[in-house]
């Protein structure tokens, strides 16, 4: 909850429509948001990602891949030290498509990353390139081919 509140504090005054989803673990009513920020428990990613210019997440595979598939840069705040979220954030940061910050990052650090990633720059091209590469592969066909080549028992 503290991380989400830091994100909301960082987004206060950002000259853009901001949408925050909390998932099932945090009640949106327990958070304080700015007047231009919508807070929801859940929204279908496909209703907001086509128009998104930045995604802030924990580095989970689903949201991260969906954001990248839309060519959207990310701020990754890994939440669990034993999962691969930090590796995902650092990898995307190395590729130029993200900034990876600690989950306890202060609002001013998050805001600096937000301002940087909302501006035009090489991170937009890096995210767009990764998005184009993701969209060029038919994941369901690749998975079916891999399954087809498994030894039959």
pLDDT band with cut points at 50, 70 and 90 for residue 153: low
Query: To which H or E segment does residue 132 belong?
Result: helix 122-135
The strand pairing partners of 100, in sequence order, are 76
The pair of structure tokens assigned to 5 is: 């509140």
> How far is it, in rounded angstroms, from Cα 106 to Cα 9?
9
The CA-atom distances, in angstroms, between 7 and each of 29, 73, 104, 105, 118 are: 15, 16, 10, 9, 15
Whole-number average pLDDT of the chain: 92
> How far is it, in rounded angstroms, from Cα 128 to Cα 69?
8
**Residue range 91-133, pLDDT digits in tens:** 999 999 999 999 999 999 999 999 999 999 999 999 999 999 9
**Please, what CATH class does the domain formed by 2-148 belong to?**
alpha beta
Residue extents of the structural domains in the chain = 2-148
């Amino acid at each position: 909850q503290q991380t989400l509140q830091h994100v909301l504090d960082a987004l206060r005054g950002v000259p853009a429509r901001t949408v925050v989803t909390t998932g099932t673990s945090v009640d949106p009513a327990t958070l304080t948001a700015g007047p231009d920020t919508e807070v929801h428990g859940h929204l279908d990613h496909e209703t907001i990602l086509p128009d998104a210019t930045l995604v802030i997440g924990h580095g989970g595979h689903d949201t991260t891949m969906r954001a990248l598939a839309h060519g959207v840069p990310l701020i990754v705040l890994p939440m669990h030290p034993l999962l691969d979220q930090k590796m995902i954030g650092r990898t995307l940061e190395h590729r130029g498509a993200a900034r990876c910050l600690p989950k306890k990052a202060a609002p001013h650090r998050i805001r600096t990353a937000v301002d940087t990633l909302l501006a035009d720059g090489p991170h937009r091209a890096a995210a767009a390139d990764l998005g184009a590469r993701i969209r060029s592969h038919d994941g369901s066909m690749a998975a079916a081919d891999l399954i087809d080549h498994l030894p039959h028992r």
